[in-house]
Amino acid sequence: MNDYTCTCACGCENLSGEYVCRNCKTGLCKTNAAYVLITCNDGKLEGVMAEIGNLDNIKEVQETCGAYDIIAKIESITSKQLEKFIVHKIRNLANVRSAMTLHCKPTM
């Protein structure tokens, strides 16, 4: 079973990991996405935002008000790659105190 699905109407099962549909060459195969709510150490917000913004797979980074300091949108081809990225890249940053992941449900 693949971790991503083709968004075009050709009905292919794209297992190649490519973004463009192999059959019709027009549909885009979906990626897995997640939002990560991040709390960082006091006074380290700007540095953490800059570090996160420079990572591959990061599509958006925003400062927030409330219980969390930062929200980041991450995309990856497979859910396993997404999980590895969050664990090894986000949670291992020096001034990240906590990170809660909201895995997005794929939609058409």
Per-residue pLDDT of the chain (108 residues; tens, 9 = 90+): 344 455 555 655 555 555 555 566 555 556 678 999 999 999 999 999 999 999 988 999 999 999 999 999 998 767 778 888 899 999 999 999 999 999 887 654
Residues 6+ apart with CB under 8 A from 91: 99
Q: What's the CA angle centered on 63, arms 60 and 69, to 5 degrees?
A: 115
Q: What residue numbers bound the domain in which 50 lies?
A: 32-103
Q: In which region does residue 66 sit, left (phi positive, over 0), alpha (psi from -120 to 50) or beta (all else)? A: left
89 belongs to a structural domain? yes
Q: Do 24 and 39 reside in the same domain of the chain?
A: no
Contact 31, 76 (CB under 8 A): yes
Do the domain assignments include residue 108?
A: no
Whether 26 and 74 map to the same domain: the answer is: no
pTM assigned to the model: 0.71
